[in-house]
Structure formats: structure tokens, C-alpha cells
Amino acid sequence: MIIITNKNIPEAAISRLKNYGKVVHFETKGITYQAISGHPDVFFCLLEKQIIIAPNTPIEIKNELTNYNMPFIEGQGDVGNSYPETAIYNAVVTEKFLIHNLKITDNSIREACSDKTSIHVNQAYTRCNLLALKNDSFITSDKGIYETLLTKKLNVLYVNPQGIILPGFSNGFFGGACGVSQNQIFTIGSLSQFADGEKVITFLEDQGYQTIELYNGPMYDGGSLIFI
């Protein structure tokens, strides 16, 4: 198991992650603005059987993936310093759906998901705000995404993102503070310190998930945890 994580998440969280797989510390310099420069979900889009990465992902990261026999496909557009180039890979892909602001989605993702139902949402930082679960269930911290998925008759829980840490901003987003591996949900922080934590725990238990809190502190948006 390879786990890609922002190198700047709390050290206690990184230490615990090492119990579950090989941790790849992600960072970039001079590509995009500082607050999201270490966010894997800005540079990677995880599909069911492959991963699409931005061409300007640092070569050191590409080499690590290659060394661990983790195949990847390079996308068509580079991540840039401002929107929309900061969000072109921040899509959510499930067995059935491609969910993103389809006006900006990198063409490589569109092509790879040609057999899926595409759902357009206005929030282009979709993966930051949306955690996809099994059985067409989701947790989101964006009201627009919430309302759109409800119209598709999907099982979705909305949570208020206030209190989620993202250095440089008033708050981060729920999806960016989480990762999914099989029937386990990993949170960068304790749900007991999150206002909607009890709602999240109940929702996840109903879906048959075990929650693993990586450190005993407030929820921290590190740009998602990517399990390969």
C-alpha cells in the first residue's frame, strides 16, 4: 500500500499512517500557491484502476511511484498558480460517476471516464469538498455539491467545514482532511473536535466503515490522503 500525503500534515498523523503502508511525502515548489502546494488532490486524480497525475508533478514523486511499481498516466494540462489551473485534477471518480466542474476537467480524466455518468458541479475543488463512499454515498462540505447530488437521488451528508484547519485560509474542507482505503476512513484529526463529528460517525457506521483518527487534534485539510 502506497499512501501519498502532504508532508506538512501534523507529524503525529504521519507517524500513525506509517502503520498502514509506505508513506510518500508530497510537496512542490514554484508550481502553485503556497497554501495548496503540498496538496496531493491538486496534482492527482485517483480512478478505480489507475491514477492520473499532472505532467508537472515533481520528478521525485514520479520516480517514487515508479520504484514501487505504481503505474500512472500523465494528464494533458499542467497545474498552475491560479484558478482554474489549480483545480483541473480535483475531480471525484467512482465506479459510476465523474463528479467535477466539467468546464475545467483535464481532458485525460474525461477520456478515462467516458463510460461513466458525468455530474457537473460548480465547486471545482470537488475532491477537496467531497468524500466518495461505497453504495453511491458521499460526505460533502459544499452546499452546492450537496444539492446537486440530492437531485441525482444519491445518499449524501452535508457537514459544515468551519473548524477544519487550512493554513492561510479561514477554514479547509472535509474531503481534504480524509482518505479512504477499502472499509476504512482515515481522518487527519479527531472527529470529536469537529462540530459535525457525531453526524459523520453515524453516517460512516451506517455504511459499514471503520474510522481511524490519525492524531488527537482538530481536523486538518492536507489535500486528501491518497491510498494506492
pLDDT tens digit string along 139-176? Answer: 999 999 999 999 999 999 999 999 999 999 999 999 99
Whole-model pTM? 0.96
pLDDT at 48 over 90: no
Q: 187-224 pLDDT, tens per residue? A: 999 999 999 999 999 999 999 999 999 999 999 999 99
pLDDT at 3 over 90: yes
pLDDT at 179 over 90: yes
Q: 129-141 pLDDT, tens per residue? A: 999 999 999 999 9
Over residues 61-76, mean pLDDT: 93
| Residue 26: strand pairing partners | 6
Q: 8-26 pLDDT, tens per residue? A: 999 999 999 999 999 999 9
* Average pLDDT taken over every residue of the chain: 97
Domain ranges of the chain: 2-227
pLDDT of residue 191: 98
pLDDT of residue 166: 97
CATH second-level architecture of 2-227? 5-stranded Propeller (3.75)
What's at 42, amino acid-wise?
V
pLDDT of residue 31: 98
